[in-house]
């Protein structure tokens, strides 16, 4: 399929799994192994920073970003939004990580040399995430990303550039979620999947598949 490198964001201490796989002969793929909050302290104690090669993998496997999930998804109506979901006046989605906690988590990871990969899908989640990242000390490391960024408020887009954040997006969702976006985000689809607006603002896009949610076929 032509795939030579992936970012692994399974909910596990992925570096150990890939050490085992490389030892068993999987040696034609470069892997950046992300990690969640449960695994961060172990990585810090081992002195691992984003970009470091994992021992015993011939440089194929490296430490990836620290993944944080701030809200849910469009299909489950848990993406955290500024407006409620149709016919559900109390449902604005679900905020999984409040700003104060997000600040604490991201500062800890950044000080330890970890890039950030923050899942923010709804416009309210993106707004709170961007506003929080603008306050952390030290600031996000180069290469840090917002994952998905599916619904944005146009006035928030300049913060991507100011913070030097990557918009990690999945073009397949433009098609997969088309009807869901019309149904759940009526009147807001002009700022959903706003890839062109991000590019025009000078924001770097990285395009992925979100496999296995969508096919990995490039």
CATH topology of domain 70-211: TIM Barrel (3.20.20)
SS3 133: helix
- Its pTM stands at 0.94
Confidence at residue 215, expressed as pLDDT on a 0 to 100 scale:
86
Which helix (H) or strand (E) segment holds residue 127: the answer is helix 123-133
Confidence at residue 159, expressed as pLDDT on a 0 to 100 scale:
96
Confidence at residue 193, expressed as pLDDT on a 0 to 100 scale:
97
User: pLDDT tens digit string along 58-104?
Assistant: 999 999 999 999 999 999 999 999 999 999 999 999 999 999 999 99
- Total H helices, total E strands in the chain: 8, 7
Q: Name residues of the chain where pLDDT drops below 70.
A: none
Q: Which of 110, 100, 108 is nearest to 131 (CA)?
A: 100
Confidence at residue 201, expressed as pLDDT on a 0 to 100 scale:
97
Confidence at residue 72, expressed as pLDDT on a 0 to 100 scale:
97
Percent residues over pLDDT 70 in the chain: 100
Confidence at residue 216, expressed as pLDDT on a 0 to 100 scale:
86
Confidence at residue 218, expressed as pLDDT on a 0 to 100 scale:
72
Cis peptide before 18 (omega within 30 of 0): no
CB 200 within 8 A of CB 102: no
Confidence at residue 2, expressed as pLDDT on a 0 to 100 scale:
87
Confidence at residue 52, expressed as pLDDT on a 0 to 100 scale:
96
Domain residue extents for the chain: 1-64, 70-211
């Amino acid at each position: 399929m032509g795939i030579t490198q992936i970012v692994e964001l399974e909910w596990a201490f992925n570096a150990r799994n890939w050490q085992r796989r490389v030892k068993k002969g999987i040696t034609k793929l470069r892997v950046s192994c992300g990690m969640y909050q449960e695994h961060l302290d172990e990585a810090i104690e081992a002195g691992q920073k984003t970009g470091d090669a994992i021992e015993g993998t011939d440089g194929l496997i490296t430490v990836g970003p620290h993944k944080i999930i701030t809200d849910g998804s469009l299909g489950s109506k848990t993406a955290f939004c500024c407006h409620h979901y149709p016919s559900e006046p109390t449902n604005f989605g679900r905020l999984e990580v409040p700003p104060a906690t997000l600040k604490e988590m991201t500062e800890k990871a950044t000080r330890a040399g970890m890039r950030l990969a923050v899942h923010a899908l709804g416009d309210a989640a993106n707004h709170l995430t961007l506003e929080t990242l603008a306050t952390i000390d030290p600031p996000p490391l180069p290469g840090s990303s917002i994952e998905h960024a599916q619904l944005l408020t146009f006035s928030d887009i300049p913060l991507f550039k100011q913070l030097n954040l990557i918009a990690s997006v999945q073009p397949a969702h433009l098609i997969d979620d088309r009807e869901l976006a019309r149904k759940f985000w009526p009147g807001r689809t002009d700022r959903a999947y706003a890839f062109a607006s991000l590019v025009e603002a000078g924001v770097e896009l990285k395009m992925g598949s979100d496999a296995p949610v969508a096919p990995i076929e490039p």
